[in-house]
Structure 1
Amino acid sequence: MQFKQIVGQDAIKQRLITSVKENRVSHAQLFLGPGGSGSLPLAVAYAQYLSCENKLETDSCGECSSCRKYQKLMHPDLHFSYPFFAKHKDDTAISFIEQWRDAFIANPYLSLDTWRGYLDAENKQANINIAECHQIIKKLSFKPFESPYKILILWLPEYLDKEGNALLKIIEEPQPNTLFLLVAQNQDQILNTILSRTQLIKIPPLGFDEIKEYLIEHHNQTGDAATEIAYLSNGSLTEALTMLQYDNKGYHVQFVQWLRLCFANKGLEVMSFVDQAAKMGRENQKNFLRYGVNFLRECCLLLSGAGSLVHLPAHELETAQKMTNVMIVEEAQAIVAELEKAHYHVERNGNPKILFLDVSLQIIKILSFKTIRAERTQYIPN
């Protein structure tokens, strides 16, 4: 993996390259960023740059023996640890290394859900067990074979339970030229004993324009399609790539039509919509609800007088401006809460017909029966 293959994050790339040039490479670093920000590919590209035999000014060469091995994730001084679904208590990450290589090479921006699809996960919980901790200690007790550094990339250390304390000594006092690169998404879920021993590198979400340009250049998306996907992804390339697999066209028209039916309290047509939504498929349902949340949040900005912060395509902005004439901020916020609740339950395989019917009824109460405005009126003093 080379830095040039990673979307955006130019400031982080420069920081990592500078640390190598100035010989300020910390032996334990934590790449902390939200899912889809590129934390994992950045760690791999950094490791490849450290091991490259012919470093360029801004990247690894991609052609030397070390780089060729890194591109296949088969370098003898590169090791990975990650959550897995153990069938036996003695299972370690090496038992799943072939699946790991396939998953990362197919999509370096992989999520735990994507990784689960490469394994026979059944209903098991992912974790990094004590056997894996002992295996890490054993692997890192040897000197580097070929490169200046022996590097371990530990993906999602949040899945280290108390067993992770077994790694404290080797993290704090590693063998010479041994590096730990931890890649995490949630700082609060990492053992404090491990967190305190690492140098933190914060990875921000990707920008809207970065995702949009990537989708146009590398996935042949039209400007409008790329705009909608980038808008829905909330800075996560993982989410954007997932949406490419599904029919994400027409969310705006469909969502606004749903609100209009609820506003007019057209019972039979609302039920027809519920039937259609129940057949959309789980991923499309999640994307549809996510679109609704984002669209209404933009409406809230308009209603609050912060129109300069609104980021909507022209035709959607026109619709949003019209909606501000019939909706108040509290109503939009209440609908957002219902959509988020429905999204949560769709993710957990709730019955979609019941979920969309319930949300429809709640929107009818808010928009048609004006329950939010009625509640406000009760608290306004005479």
Structure 2
Amino acid sequence: MRFQDIPGLETTKNQLIEAVKGNHVAHAQLFVGAEGSANLAMALAFSTYLNCEAPTDSDACGTCPSCVKNSKYIHPDVNFIFPSAATPKFKREDATSDKFLVEWRSFLAQTPYGNVADWSNHFGWENKLLMIPRQESRNIVRALSLKSFEGKYKVMIIWQPELMNANAANGILKILEEPPENTIFLLVSNDSNKLLTTILSRAQQLRVPSFDDEDVKSVLTEKSELSSDEIDQIAYRANGNLRKALSEIDGGSNDANDYFKDWMRQCFTFNFENLIKQADDFQKRGKEFQVGLMGVASNYMRETLLTGVDATNISRLPAQEKGFIDKFASVFVPEKIAKISPQFDEAQYHIERNANPKILFLDLSLSIAQIARAKS
């Protein structure tokens, strides 16, 4: 992975390159980005640039032995730690990253924009809970106690450190604060709020922005034969999440938008029987869809607020969605949106913490119906 393989985000790329040029590379860096962002891809590209034997002013050369090995994720000085689960062969505590490197490299070669669920499905863990076990802290200390084999830097990439066992997280604090010479930690997180404050205080944070719509469209244009209207729609629904956009062109489900529209219609007409059926269906859809639906809802709330004001520079609304938003805005005026929006955020919070989705959905639906039907 090189910087040129990542669409857009030139400011972030330049920031990392300038740090290397100025010899100001922090020994522990935290790449924070939303799901579907380039945080993992950026860490991989940065790792390649660090040990490139002939780097240019804008990227690694891509042809030296170090770059060739990094392109296959087999560089001996680049170590990976990632969540895993027990298998018939390995118990929970013994299921460490080094046991699954072949599958991990295959996963990265497929896409560096996947999430934990994608990694779980790729290996075949399905619905198992993935985490980074306690033993990994010992493996990290052991791996970094050795000198680098051939590169200038020894790199430790930890993907999803928020899923580390508490003992594992505490076990790396000392080496994270005082690593061996020319050792770089690259932590890649989707939610830094779930990390221990002792880890946050030891790492320099780099916020990796989500992709612009134009960057998403360029990738979709290159990888599909969809029409420009279809690409515009997918980019809008993805909202900077390249993983979501790519899953749609690969045949993934994209019905959250239609589901939301129907849900709001049922709330407004207060069709209680249909709302109960929809709550049953919502429960069956799974956590990923449930969380995604709350994100779609927040998106529509934002676009509705921008209706009626001159916000062409910040609105992402494609022409195909304008009709629905205009009708939606006639009912959900700003005062009502101010009451509803926090409820979507709260619902997402509870879904992520395994609240009963049917009860939560029905309660939220009744609350929305009450607000929608109230006189402005």
The equivalent position to 2:110 in structure 1, one of 106, 112, 115, is 106
Name the residue aligned to 1:317: 322
Structure 1 residue 16 displacement after superposition: 1.2
Report the Cα distance in structure 2 between the residues aligned to 1:167 and 1:360, rounded to whole angstroms.
45
Structure 1 segments unaligned to the other structure (5+ residues): 377-382
More off after superposition, 202-211 vs 114-123? 114-123
Quick check: 1:246 aligned with 2:252? yes
Matches within 5 A, 1:1-382: 1-86=1-86, 87-121=91-125, 124-160=128-164, 161-244=166-249, 245-248=251-254, 251=257, 256=261, 259=264, 263=268, 274=278, 290-302=295-307, 305=309, 307-308=311-312, 309-332=314-337, 365-367=370-372, 370=373, 372-373=374-375
Give the conservation status (yes or no) of the 8 Å contact 2:82–2:97: yes
Give the conservation status (yes or no) of the 8 Å contact 2:135–2:168: no
Go from structure 1 to structure 2 and tell me whether the alpha carbon gap of 1:93 and 1:317 turns closer, same or farther (over 3 Å shift): same
Give the conservation status (yes or no) of the 8 Å contact 1:258–1:273: no
Q: Which amino acid aligns with 2:152?
A: P
SS in structure 1 of the partner of residue 157 of structure 2: strand
Structure 1 residue 204 displacement after superposition: 1.8
Give the conservation status (yes or no) of the 8 Å contact 1:32–1:187: yes
Give the conservation status (yes or no) of the 8 Å contact 1:232–1:290: no
Deviations 1:197-247 (A, max 9, x none): 222222122222222232223333332222222222232222322333324
Structure 1 residue 312 displacement after superposition: 1.3
Deviations 1:123-143 (A, max 9, x none): 653222221111111111111
Give the number of equivalent residue pairs.
Answer: 367
Q: TM-score, normalised by structure 2?
A: 0.82
Structure 2 segments unaligned to the other structure (5+ residues): none
Give the conservation status (yes or no) of the 8 Å contact 1:91–1:132: no
Structure 1 residue 292 displacement after superposition: 4.5
Go from structure 1 to structure 2 and tell me whether the alpha carbon gap of 1:331 and 1:163 turns closer, same or farther (over 3 Å shift): same
Q: Which amino acid aligns with 2:116?
A: L
Go from structure 1 to structure 2 and tell me whether the alpha carbon gap of 1:78 and 1:11 turns closer, same or farther (over 3 Å shift): same
Report the Cα distance in structure 2 between the residues aligned to 1:295 and 1:360, rounded to whole angstroms.
16
Give the conservation status (yes or no) of the 8 Å contact 1:248–1:284: no
Query: Rg: which structure is higher?
Result: 1
Give the conservation status (yes or no) of the 8 Å contact 1:277–1:285: no
Structure 1 residue 180 displacement after superposition: 1.3
Give the conservation status (yes or no) of the 8 Å contact 2:37–2:241: yes
Give the conservation status (yes or no) of the 8 Å contact 2:266–2:275: no
SS in structure 1 of the partner of residue 123 of structure 2: coil
Q: TM-score, normalised by structure 1?
A: 0.81
Structure 1 residue 80 displacement after superposition: 0.5
Report the Cα distance in structure 2 between the residues aligned to 1:184 and 1:57, rounded to whole angstroms.
27
More off after superposition, 96-105 vs 119-128? 119-128
Report the Cα distance in structure 2 between the residues aligned to 1:82 and 1:51, rounded to whole angstroms.
22
Report the Cα distance in structure 2 between the residues aligned to 1:272 and 1:165, rounded to whole angstroms.
45
Superposition RMSD in Å: 3.5
Q: Which amino acid aligns with 2:79?
A: H
Go from structure 1 to structure 2 and tell me whether the alpha carbon gap of 1:192 and 1:357 turns closer, same or farther (over 3 Å shift): closer
Give the conservation status (yes or no) of the 8 Å contact 1:52–1:64: yes
More off after superposition, 254-263 vs 274-283? 274-283
Give the conservation status (yes or no) of the 8 Å contact 2:304–2:329: yes
Go from structure 1 to structure 2 and tell me whether the alpha carbon gap of 1:31 and 1:285 turns closer, same or farther (over 3 Å shift): closer
More off after superposition, 288-297 vs 37-46? 288-297
SS in structure 2 of the partner of residue 325 of structure 1: helix
Go from structure 1 to structure 2 and tell me whether the alpha carbon gap of 1:284 and 1:199 turns closer, same or farther (over 3 Å shift): closer
